């Protein structure tokens, strides 16, 4: 179940229609007022139709405006208990401040991402990954590092997995995928053209598509069968690029552990074999 609707609104903002953005901005600016407001009053304040408000509510995985208000109230209660801002560190700060700020921001990135990560989608992703004939991992730049981390983990539990670090290699991998395979596209923005091109090829061949992107509508998430999201730190904080990678790696770890627990004995046996092989190679 998705939590953290205020984070979800912030993450989805850029992908909303102009009318929906009016409502979203009002909610983000005055969340406390929303709790006691009727849909008619909010429509008057934002000069949009009631249907626009209902549509926005449903796009945020709420049944309607009433549920949206309840989730906003829950968010505000949680925030009052755990006020927690993203730390902006400055040039010339002490080493202690630097260490604490980066660590705090990484932890916050993970916590915020959990509010937009659907456990139902995670469960489906794990199931498809376990059943896959082979897994194709697509990411460019920092996302390629995340893809490679997942590849190393998955190879140790005896799953065929391949990564490509440029568009041509990714397209080649995707062209040989079929309906028994899974393609995982990793892109914080959800707009990388090389990753999107590879996923389109894999999808046309019948592969299941899993996306790992920032929350909201974006080209990569929109073509995916299963959408996994992380929080949208980078739009507000330049050093969020580091924190967003940590959030992606956390999702990768969740998928990996889920795959191991699904086939525990076989996975542990495979891990022990790989440990032995690596030790013997270094002896």
Dist. CA 216–CA 238, nearest whole Å: 19
User: What structural domains does the chain harbor?
Assistant: 5-81 (1.10.10.10), 119-278 (3.40.50.10490)
Radius of gyration, alpha carbons of the chain: 21
Dist. CA 25–CA 183, nearest whole Å: 35
Neighbour count for residue 64 (Cβ, 10 Å):
12
Neighbour count for residue 115 (Cβ, 10 Å):
19
Average pLDDT over residues 142-152: 95
pLDDT tens, position by position, 162-213: 998 899 999 999 999 999 999 999 999 899 999 999 999 999 999 999 999 9
Burial class for 147, CB neighbours closer than 10 Å (0-12, 13-18, 19+): buried
pLDDT tens, position by position, 66-77: 989 988 888 787
Q: Which range has the worst mean pLDDT, 73-82, 124-133, 261-270?
A: 73-82
Output the average pLDDT for the chain.
Answer: 88
């Amino acid at each position: 179940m998705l939590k953290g609707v205020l984070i979800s609104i912030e993450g989805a903002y850029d992908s909303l229609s102009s009318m929906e953005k009016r409502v979203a901005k009002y909610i983000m600016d005055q969340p406390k007022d929303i709790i006691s407001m009727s849909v008619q009053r909010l429509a008057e304040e934002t000069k949009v139709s009631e249907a626009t408000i209902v549509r926005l509510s449903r796009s945020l995985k709420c049944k309607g405006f009433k549920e949206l208000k309840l989730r906003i109230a829950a968010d505000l209660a949680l925030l009052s208990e755990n006020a927690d801002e993203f730390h902006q560190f400055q040039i010339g700060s002490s080493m202690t401040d630097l260490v604490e700020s980066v660590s705090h921001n990484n932890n916050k990135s993970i916590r915020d991402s959990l509010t937009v990560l659907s456990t139902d989608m995670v469960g489906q992703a794990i199931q498809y990954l376990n059943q896959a004939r082979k897994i194709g991992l697509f990411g460019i730049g920092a996302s390629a590092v995340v893809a490679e981390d997942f590849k190393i983990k998955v190879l140790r539990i005896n799953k065929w997995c391949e990564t490509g670090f440029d568009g041509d290699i990714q397209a080649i991998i995707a062209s040989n995928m079929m309906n028994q395979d899974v393609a995982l596209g990793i892109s914080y923005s959800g707009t990388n053209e090389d990753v999107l091109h590879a996923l389109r090829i894999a999808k046309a061949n019948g592969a299941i598509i899993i996306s790992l992107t920032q929350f909201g509508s974006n080209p990569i998430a929109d073509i995916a069968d299963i959408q996994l999201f992380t929080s949208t730190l980078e739009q507000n904080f330049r050093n969020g690029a580091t924190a967003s990678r940590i959030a992606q790696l956390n999702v990768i770890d969740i998928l990996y552990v889920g795959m191991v627990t699904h086939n525990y004995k076989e996975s542990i046996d495979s891990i022990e074999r790989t440990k032995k092989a690596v030790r013997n190679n270094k002896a």
